[in-house]
């Protein structure tokens, strides 16, 4: 389980001292859109509004990338990941890469 790893995008952890820096860790995922969802979304495009299917898809991918980040942090013995950032890149028509990266540290 990776739930005990703390994650934040601050560069320190309030009230706790950083004992050791373990370098950068990252997690990524490449996801493509579902054809059915794409079709629904293109209909939704005419009337506008939120494309819930895409919001969910990107959220799912982001949590996937985050969990890979946490796995990477755990495997090197960190108990927290600080200064986490997200990045999204479109790599092909209908496919996107989501990357999460941060600094793995050991907090006292």
Partner 1 sequence: MDLILLLTLLCVGYIFGRIAESRHYRSIIEREKKYADILLFAAKRAPPEMTGVDAVLVSGSAVISSDYFKWFVAGLRKIFGGRFRVYETLLDRARRESILRLKQQTRELGGNAIFNVKFESFNVTMGARGGIAAIEILAYGTALIPQRTV
Q: Which residues bind partner 1 (CB under 8 A)?
A: 6-15, 38, 41-42, 44-52, 54-55, 58-59, 62, 66, 84-88, 90, 93-94, 96
Report the Cα–Cα distance between both ends of the chain, in Å, rounded. 20
**Least spacing, CB of residue 3 vs partner 1, in Å:** 12
Give the CA count within 13 Å in the CB-facing half-sphere of 5. Answer: 27
CB closer to partner 1 out of 7 and 106: 7
- Kindly state the smallest distance separating residue 7's Cβ from partner 1, in Å: 5
How many C-beta atoms lie closer than 10 Å to residue 81's C-beta? 28
Residue 36 burial by Cβ neighbours in a 10 Å radius (0-12, 13-18, 19+): exposed
Residue closer to partner 1 (CB basis): 77 or 94: 94
Q: Which is nearer to partner 1, 23 or 93 (CB)?
A: 93
Q: Which is nearer to partner 1, 50 or 108 (CB)?
A: 50
> Whole-number minimum distance, CB 31 to partner 1, in Å?
12
80-92, strands of its sheet edge to edge? 6-7, 80-92, 95-107, 18-32
């Amino acid at each position: 389980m990776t739930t005990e790893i703390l994650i934040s995008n601050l560069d320190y952890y309030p009230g706790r001292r950083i004992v050791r820096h373990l370098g950068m860790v990252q997690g990524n995922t490449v996801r493509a859109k579902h054809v059915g969802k794409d079709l629904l979304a293109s209909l939704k495009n005419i009337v506008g509004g939120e494309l819930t299917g895409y919001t969910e898809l990107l959220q799912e991918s982001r949590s996937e990338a985050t969990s890979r980040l946490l796995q990477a942090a755990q495997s090197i013995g960190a108990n927290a990941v600080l200064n986490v950032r997200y990045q999204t890149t479109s790599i092909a028509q209908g496919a996107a890469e989501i990357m999460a990266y941060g600094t793995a540290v050991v907090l006292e």
